[in-house]
């Protein structure tokens, strides 16, 4: 069992106590996240074209589309809950519930739910629409959640927590009813 340094530091900063089973849960999540990142990086390396500082917007768009399509093809059988397995989902819901207790719950929910995310199809292995707003995660909350590599980010759509690839906007996994 190996929990990342980032998780340990965030726990020290926030003063949170984590049980042995929670540490195992975080390690499971981090292992699954690393497996996804390894796959997406392998896919990216095999792309026939690369972007450079001299690439045109059209070339960049074509590259991003091919990257998205290649990742989606490599994960053709992906299903909800492959990264947010039940024990991870329970842990994250508990973190969110505890964080919402210490804040103005109504204000935080309003901030998250007022984002222009209406009409976003929340489906694994589909792109998050470029024209839709991303709800930023409060930094203090990010410190309490399992840390993500730079390739991924957490995002809310309604009460759902998404795991989204930063570069190609593919929804890697999501957790329904994450918000308390």
Is residue 16 in a domain?
yes
The pTM assigned to this predicted structure is 0.82
In this structure, what token pair is assigned to residue 29? 């999540």
Which pLDDT score is estimated for 143? 87
Residue 15 lies in a domain: yes
180 within a domain of the structure (yes/no): no
Q: How far is it, in rounded angstroms, from Cα 86 to Cα 92?
A: 10
Query: What pLDDT shows up at residue 11?
Result: 46
How big is the chain, counted in residues?
Answer: 180
pLDDT of residue 139: 79
110 touches 100 (CB < 8 A) = no
Q: In total, how many domains does the chain have? A: 1
- Residue 18: its pLDDT value, please? 74
* C-alpha torsion sign, points 100, 11, 173, 46: positive
Predicted local distance difference test score (pLDDT) of residue 75: 96
Q: What is the pLDDT of residue 49?
A: 78
Side-chain-side CA neighbours of residue 45 (13 Å): 6
The pLDDT assigned to 108 comes to: 65
| 157 touches 178 (CB < 8 A) | no
The pLDDT of residue 111 is 63
Give the domain extent around 73. Answer: 5-175
Q: Report whether 170 contacts 68 (CB < 8 A).
A: yes
Output the pLDDT for position 48.
83
| Per-residue pLDDT tens digits of the chain, which is 180 residues long | 445 545 444 444 444 567 888 999 999 999 999 999 999 999 999 998 788 888 899 998 899 999 999 999 999 999 999 999 999 999 999 998 887 775 566 666 666 666 666 667 789 999 887 766 666 677 777 888 999 999 999 988 888 899 999 999 999 999 998 887
């Amino acid at each position: 069992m190996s929990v990342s340094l980032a998780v340990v530091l965030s726990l020290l900063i926030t003063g949170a106590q984590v049980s042995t089973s929670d540490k195992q849960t975080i390690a499971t999540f981090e292992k699954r996240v690393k497996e996804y990142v390894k796959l997406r990086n392998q896919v990216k390396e095999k792309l026939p074209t690369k972007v450079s500082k001299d690439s045109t917007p059209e070339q960049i768009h074509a590259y991003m589309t091919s990257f998205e399509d290649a990742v989606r093809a490599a994960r053709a059988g992906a299903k909800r809950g492959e990264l947010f397995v039940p024990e991870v989902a329970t842990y994250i819901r508990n973190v969110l519930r505890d964080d919402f207790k210490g804040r103005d719950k109504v204000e935080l929910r309003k901030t998250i739910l007022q984002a222009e995310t209406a009409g976003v199809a929340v489906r694994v292995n589909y792109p998050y629409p470029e024209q839709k707003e991303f709800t930023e995660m409060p930094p203090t909350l990010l410190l309490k959640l399992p840390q993500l590599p730079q390739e991924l980010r957490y995002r809310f759509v309604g009460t759902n927590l998404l795991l989204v690839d930063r570069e190609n906007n593919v929804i890697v996994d999501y957790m329904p009813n994450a918000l308390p």
